[in-house]
A and B are shown apart, each in its own frame.
Chain A
Amino acid sequence: GAVVSQHPSRVICKSGTSVKIECRSLDFQATTMFWYRQFPKQSLMLMATSNEGSKATYEQGVEKDKFLINHASLTLSTLTVTSAHPEDSSFYICSARAGTPRDEQFFGPGTRLTVL
């Protein structure tokens, strides 16, 4: 199957700092990328959907000014957690889809964020 990478895999930062997470589709062009957050023992929660070259669509309750998403190319999307706080500590996972909504989403390996 297609490969999606995420970087970094793990990050620890101080409260108040910003953290950028990259999501890349390595062997296909991702028309759409998704950002999820998963707290321990909970389901995946969709944060936002982004299409290349356009603004991301955020889910209800997700602050767009806090979680900045940039989908600048068909192979790269970034999520920046601005002014991170301990409650933002979570597992952030991106997924990418090549074509139509019926196509499979391929998941990146995830980024474990710990805010001290």
Chain B
Amino acid sequence: GQNIDQPTEMTATEGAIVQINCTYQTSGFNGLFWYQQHAGEAPTFLSYNVLDGLEEKGRFSSFLSRSKGYSYLLLKELQMKDSASYLCAVMDSNYQLIWGAGTKLIIKP
């Protein structure tokens, strides 16, 4: 079967750095997405990785290792507004998005 694993919940301090991991097992791979979802709202796109390595976009970076079936989302200089769920999703060989359950990130002052 296909599955995406990510931690259920993480807590971090305002101004700090946090890394959210995602491991996946899917039938084929056509890229990995990270989305941010605030409570009661739809997901918003953060990043897309299809090649190995690190993609940096402002305070957020995303890393991919296809051989390890592993990705992480790195958030720097955390702000209170970063409190949200972070969803990892993999596009499989049929171009279907397979979603993880999301990691709820709690930021404390």
Asked if B7 CB lies within 8 Å of chain A CBs, one says: no
A107-B101 contact given A44-B87, A102-B31, A102-B95, CB 8 Å threshold: no
Contacts of A93 in B (CB 8 A): 42-43
Instruction: Tell whether, in the assembled complex, residue B44 and residue A107 are in contact, meaning their CB atoms are under 8 Å apart.
Output: yes
Instruction: Tell whether, in the assembled complex, residue B41 and residue A109 are in contact, meaning their CB atoms are under 8 Å apart.
Output: yes
Query: How many B residues have CB within 8 A of the partner chain?
Result: 18
Residues 23-53 of chain B, each 1 if its beta carbon lies under 8 Å from chain A, else 0:
0000000110000000011111100100000
Asked if A7 CB lies within 8 Å of chain B CBs, one says: no
Instruction: Tell whether, in the assembled complex, residue A44 and residue B99 are in contact, meaning their CB atoms are under 8 Å apart.
Output: yes
Contacts of B43 in A (CB 8 A): 44, 93, 107
Within 8 A of A (CB), among B80-95: 87, 91, 95
Cα–Cα, bound, A106→B41 (Å): 13
Q: Which of B31, B42, B100 contacts A110 (CB 8 A)?
A: B42
Asked if A85 CB lies within 8 Å of chain B CBs, one says: no
Contacts of B102 in A (CB 8 A): 43
By beta carbon, the residue of chain A nearest B43 is A107
Cα–Cα, bound, A16→B44 (Å): 33
By beta carbon, the residue of chain B nearest A106 is B45
30 A-B contacts (beta carbon < 8 Å): A1-B45, A42-B101, A43-B100, A43-B101, A43-B102, A44-B43, A44-B99, A45-B99, A46-B96, A46-B97, A46-B99, A93-B43, A101-B30, A101-B91, A102-B30, A102-B31, A102-B91, A104-B45, A104-B48, A105-B97, A107-B42, A107-B43, A107-B44, A108-B42, A109-B41, A109-B42, A110-B40, A110-B41, A110-B42, A112-B40
